[in-house]
A = this chain, B = another copy of it.
């Protein structure tokens, strides 16, 4: 299904009562040291602490009364799980969330806190899908995929709509890329609402599947997975890749050291908490200063749900 501008505008209206219009922050000292004019769209301050509520809420609100009756289901290690749990609580329906046993405890607790049923599984794709199939066939719940779903992509596209409305003069926007829901939605939104706005993605070297897929034109796997950006380990889908190929300018890689340095900069200079996954675009801009120098660069800070016990790993004591 082709997503239209009207679909995105409808989604924005549909979810508006349930989400925050997140602030866009700037930071003089970061601009001075980088020579780039950064604008940070703070989805870490969003409901559930991440942009994922946009897609999750849009998909849930698109269901018929008949579908709503049986609830919704998904597999997710993180923020999409919270998004569906929150949406289900808001709409007074059931949510069944399959989560790998390795999920950060803070995220499992949050999902349970919203009243969702959590089904733990082994941390691999086959186990996830099997557990999901089982719960869907037992309950009749509607499966809402974390990103391979046009309702989810359309919901994620509402973020760039707000961003362009607030900062119309943006030259670039950079998002992280995991499964490609945010990236495809952002690039579609930019295409419709501000075609001159160039859309980039940042991706960890330790989860470099999207860049391979972008170059080869078909969905590829990462050669290896080793990154603290735990939200970006998934591969693209045919659907997200199709949109990304059409509307994204380029995908930029960053190292683990660059992710940690960017994380430190945001924490120290902006005094806000963000996930490692969500500083990847910022790190990509810092690594490619010549590309963005003197330009207005929008960064979607996609989430802030961190497990505080990880701090000692990211910022080791002296």
Q: Are B268 and A106 in contact (CB under 8 A)?
A: yes
Chain B residues with CB under 8 A of A316: 309, 312
A276 to chain B, nearest CB (A): 14
What size tier do the contact residues of chain A reach?
A: 20 to 34
CA distance in complex: A245, B237 (Å): 66
A312 in complex: contacting residue of B264, B267, B311, CB < 8 Å: B311
Q: Report how far A1 CA is from B70 CA in the complex, Å.
A: 71
In the assembled complex, A215 has its CB within 8 A of some CB on chain B: no
- How many copies of this kind of chain does the complex include? 2
Nearest B residue to A317 via CB reads B312
Contacts of A65 in B (CB 8 A): none
**A298: shortest Cβ distance to chain B, in Å?**
19
Known: A264-B308, A315-B312. A271 touches B271 (CB 8 A): no
Closest to A113 in B: B29
B274 touches A271 (CB 8 A): yes
A→B interface (CB under 8 Å): 44-45, 49, 106, 264, 267-268, 271-274, 304, 308-313, 315-318
